[in-house]
């Protein structure tokens, strides 16, 4: 949990759940697992149990203590819709999001079907953004589940991008983040894959955010695509089904 984040598209992270298990190729080099396992067995450390899944109820009300409005990435170190997270607990997490209405919460999952099922039982206020991770064309099927969710902002995190996605259904999607894999063993990303997604976003009038090229030394590869930085963000101007504006960094 961090009031402040190095992730380019958010301001803070909040982890009422810690740990996860792998579900698809995008999980292979999970940064959260790599970080967590460094501290397995360290008494008293938040990740004393490594990347084993556990609920963190003591962290539930943390966003209520942050007075200034923030974009908050929910469960950067887990997946809220993991099959071992009880529905009752998930509803408690969303209850905090509704109470902390001055923040915008970015909820991201690879478990799209469970998300869609549970979201239908929850009031999603305009400050709650819902998203799914997609790494190649095969897993673009997760988008269909997201499209069923009645959220003011629906977004895709296409990171790590592991293959071309020439057929991306952006109906009802407001924002797309794209990035390459980084760190040891990073798998390469073809620039044409990125351009294809950017072009699909422009055709569909969907905001496009290019996070990074990635690689073993991601700082040396930078964030520019075709001579510019793509920092488009959805900004909610009105309640539910709102108009959006671009904020470029």
Mean pLDDT for the chain?
93
Q: Report the alpha-carbon distance of residue 150 to residue 146 in Å, rounded.
A: 9
Given a cut of 50, whether residue 244 has pLDDT beyond it is no
Using an 8 Å Cβ cutoff, are 131 and 108 in contact? yes
Which pLDDT value is given to residue 216? Answer: 84
- Report the pLDDT averaged over residues 146-150: 98
Given a cut of 70, whether residue 178 has pLDDT beyond it is yes
**What pLDDT band is residue 236 in, cutting at 50, 70 and 90?**
low
Given a cut of 60, whether residue 18 has pLDDT beyond it is yes
Q: Which of 57-71, 166-180, 235-249 has the lowest mean pLDDT?
A: 235-249
**What pLDDT band is residue 235 in, cutting at 50, 70 and 90?**
low
Which pLDDT value is given to residue 4? Answer: 72
Given a cut of 50, whether residue 123 has pLDDT beyond it is yes
Which pLDDT value is given to residue 237? Answer: 47
Using CA atoms, how far residue 51 sits from 73, 109, 130, in Å, is 18, 17, 24
Instruction: Tell me if the bond preceding 136 is cis, omega within 30° of 0.
Output: no
Q: Report the alpha-carbon distance of residue 80 to residue 60 in Å, rounded.
A: 12
Q: Report the alpha-carbon distance of residue 57 to residue 27 in Å, rounded.
A: 25
Share of the chain above pLDDT 90, in %: 87
Domain ranges, ordered by start, for the chain: 12-245
Given a cut of 80, whether residue 243 has pLDDT beyond it is no
Given a cut of 80, whether residue 24 has pLDDT beyond it is yes
Q: Report the alpha-carbon distance of residue 177 to residue 7 in Å, rounded.
A: 12
Given a cut of 50, whether residue 218 has pLDDT beyond it is yes
Tokens, residue 26: 């995008």
Given a cut of 60, whether residue 245 has pLDDT beyond it is no
- Report the pLDDT averaged over residues 26-52: 95
Secondary structure class of 150 (helix, strand, coil): coil
- Report the pLDDT averaged over residues 23-39: 95
- Report the pLDDT averaged over residues 27-51: 95
Which pLDDT value is given to residue 99? Answer: 98
Which residues, in sequence order, are CB contacts of 101 under 8 Å at separation 6+?
125, 127
Given a cut of 60, whether residue 242 has pLDDT beyond it is no
Choose among 159, 167, 123: nearest CA to 141.
167
Secondary structure class of 145 (helix, strand, coil): helix
Given a cut of 80, whether residue 8 has pLDDT beyond it is yes
């Amino acid at each position: 949990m961090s009031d402040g984040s190095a992730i380019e598209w958010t301001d803070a992270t909040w982890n009422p759940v810690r740990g996860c298990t792998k579900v698809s190729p995008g999980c292979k080099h999970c940064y959260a697992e790599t970080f967590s396992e460094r501290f397995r067995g360290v008494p008293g450390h938040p990740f004393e149990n490594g990347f084993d899944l556990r609920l963190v109820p003591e962290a539930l009300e943390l966003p209520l203590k942050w007075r200034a409005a923030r974009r908050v990435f929910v469960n950067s170190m887990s997946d809220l819709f993991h099959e071992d997270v009880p529905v009752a607990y998930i509803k408690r997490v969303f209850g905090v999001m509704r109470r902390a209405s001055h923040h915008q919460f970015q909820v991201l999952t690879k478990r799209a079907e469970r998300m869609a099922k549970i979201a239908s039982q929850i009031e999603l206020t305009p400050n709650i953004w819902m998203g799914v991770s997609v790494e190649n064309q095969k897993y673009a099927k997760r988008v269909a589940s997201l499209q069923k969710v009645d959220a003011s902002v629906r977004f895709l995190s296409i990171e790590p991008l592991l293959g071309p996605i020439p057929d991306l259904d952006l109906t009802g999607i407001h924002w797309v983040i794209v990035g390459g894999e980084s760190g040891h063993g990073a798998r390469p990303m073809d620039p044409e894959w990125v351009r294809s997604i950017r072009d699909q976003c422009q055709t569909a009038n969907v905001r496009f955010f290019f996070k990074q090229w990635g690689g073993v030394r991601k700082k040396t590869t930078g964030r520019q695509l075709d001579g510019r930085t793509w920092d488009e963000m959805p900004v909610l101007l009105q309640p539910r089904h709102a108009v959006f504006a671009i904020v470029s960094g």
